[in-house]
């Protein structure tokens, strides 16, 4: 009740001519400012929806896509707000100067964070790698789990997680294996073994292994001629998920098939020479 009376008394004390003058002077400006803000909101929504549709076609992750769209809407609304304040007669230049000074201070204080943010946006838009691909950079490697605005998460072969700040990725040499990887296996057989038969057996093993990708022809052949063995290189392709177990399965199958075929696997050979003086000393020790 007291509040109502206070408002009534305040309204009763207003000069009608003053109210009319203020309405005539500032009414159109306020109306124009409201219209500008409304139009700015509509434009921001339209541009945001268009950007969201474009980013969704690039298979961008929803959190990153939503954040970029929100930033665009805020920028458009900020421009509309500046225009509206200018229509109301507010001095924009000092305001922009103050925002600029504050922005510089905030930028210096958050240099690393902003660097990661900008780098994250660049990675999302340029897509040097995608979620699920296997990459190697900065001496680290792993399967890409998530690409966030501030960091990229990799899953290492031992199931541990590697988190790399995005600003460390930009400008570095990146090795992107994609969704498949090539095994680099070797097996040594004796010089007396039938190399053609060994190669044929290995081809059969690769063809029967379900984890070996059949659309990519494996590299297979003699890679070295050692003193005690002929080294055969086996380089099939497999998916990133099957990279670990496939090598063990191939080695086990090759070992079993070679054993059945009578192909001798490389064994380390030693040559021991005993000098006459050494024998004499041994005999003396033995006696």
CATH number of 88's domain? 1.10.287.1260
One domain, residues 20 and 97:
yes
One domain, residues 59 and 35:
yes
One domain, residues 96 and 135:
no
At 90, phi and psi to the nearest 5? -75, 135
One domain, residues 50 and 104:
yes
Domain assignment present for 232: yes
Domain assignment present for 283: no
Number of domains comprising the chain? 3
pLDDT in tens, 65-112: 777 787 788 888 888 887 777 777 766 667 666 666 666 665 555 566
One domain, residues 163 and 252:
no
Alpha carbon distance 46, 49 (integer Å): 5
One domain, residues 54 and 23:
yes
Mean confidence (pLDDT) of the chain: 79
One domain, residues 153 and 202:
no
Alpha carbon distance 171, 150 (integer Å): 16
Does residue 188 surpass a pLDDT of 60? yes
Name which of 34-38, 49-53, 54-58, 282-286 the model is least confident about.
282-286
Does residue 1 surpass a pLDDT of 50? yes
By residue count, the chain amounts to: 287
One domain, residues 15 and 101:
yes
Alpha carbon distance 187, 230 (integer Å): 8
One domain, residues 65 and 133:
no
Run of H or E including 234: strand 230-235
Domain assignment present for 268: no
Alpha carbon distance 171, 194 (integer Å): 50
The CATH code of the domain that includes 160 is 2.30.30.60
One domain, residues 142 and 205:
no
- What is the distance, to the nearest Å, from the Cα of residue 51 to the centroid of all Cα atoms in its chain? 22
One domain, residues 200 and 168:
no
> Looking at residue 265, what DSSP letter applies?
B
- pTM surpassing 0.95? no
Q: Could you tell me which residue, 22 or 189, shows the higher pLDDT?
A: 189
Alpha carbon distance 44, 76 (integer Å): 5
Alpha carbon distance 63, 43 (integer Å): 22
Domain assignment present for 89: yes
Query: In 10 A of CB 249, how many CB atoms?
Result: 16
Alpha carbon distance 181, 144 (integer Å): 14
Alpha carbon distance 7, 27 (integer Å): 22
Take residue 287 and report the two structure tokens written for it. Answer: 């006696």
Take residue 198 and report the two structure tokens written for it. Answer: 């060994």
Domain assignment present for 287: no
Domain assignment present for 41: yes
CA 48-72-108 angle, 5° bins: 160
Alpha carbon distance 249, 208 (integer Å): 11
Most confident of 53-57, 185-189, 228-232: 185-189
Distance between first and last Cα of the chain: 125
The CATH code of the domain that includes 232 is 3.30.70.100
Domain assignment present for 233: yes
Domain end (from 77, 109, 141): 109
The residue segments making up the domain with residue 219 are 180-261
Alpha carbon distance 250, 212 (integer Å): 9
One domain, residues 22 and 84:
yes
Domain assignment present for 281: no
pLDDT in tens, 43-64: 888 888 888 888 777 766 665 6
pLDDT band, residue 198 (cuts 50/70/90): very high
């Amino acid at each position: 009740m007291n509040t109502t009376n206070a408002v009534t008394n305040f309204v009763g004390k207003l000069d009608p001519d003053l109210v009319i003058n203020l309405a005539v002077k500032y009414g159109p400006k306020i109306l124009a400012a409201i219209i500008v803000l409304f139009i700015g909101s509509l434009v921001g929504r339209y541009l945001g929806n268009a950007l969201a549709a474009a980013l969704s076609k690039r298979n961008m992750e929803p959190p990153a896509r939503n954040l970029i769209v929100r930033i665009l809407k805020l920028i458009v609304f900020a421009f509309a707000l500046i225009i509206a304040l200018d229509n109301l007669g507010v001095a924009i230049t000092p305001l922009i100067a103050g925002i600029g000074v504050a922005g510089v201070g905030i930028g210096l204080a958050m240099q690393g964070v902003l660097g990661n943010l900008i780098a994250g946006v660049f990675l999302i838009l340029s897509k040097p790698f995608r979620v699920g691909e296997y990459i190697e950079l900065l001496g680290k490697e792993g399967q890409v789990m998530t690409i966030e605005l501030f960091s990229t998460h990799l899953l290492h072969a031992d199931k541990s997680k590697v988190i790399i700040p995005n600003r460390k990725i930009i400008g570095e040499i990146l090795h992107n294996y994609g969704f498949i990887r090539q095994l680099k296996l070797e097996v040594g057989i004796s010089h007396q073994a039938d190399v053609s038969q060994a190669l044929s057996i290995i081809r059969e093993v690769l063809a029967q292994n379900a984890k070996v990708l059949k659309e990519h022809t494996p590299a297979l052949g003699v890679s070295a001629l050692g003193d005690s063995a002929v080294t055969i290189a086996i380089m099939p392709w497999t998916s990133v998920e099957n990279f670990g177990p496939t090598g063990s399965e191939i080695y086990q199958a090759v070992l079993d098939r070679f054993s059945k075929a009578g192909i001798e696997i490389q064994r380390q050979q030693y040559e021991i020479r005993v000098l006459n003086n050494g024998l004499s000393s041994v005999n003396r020790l033995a006696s």
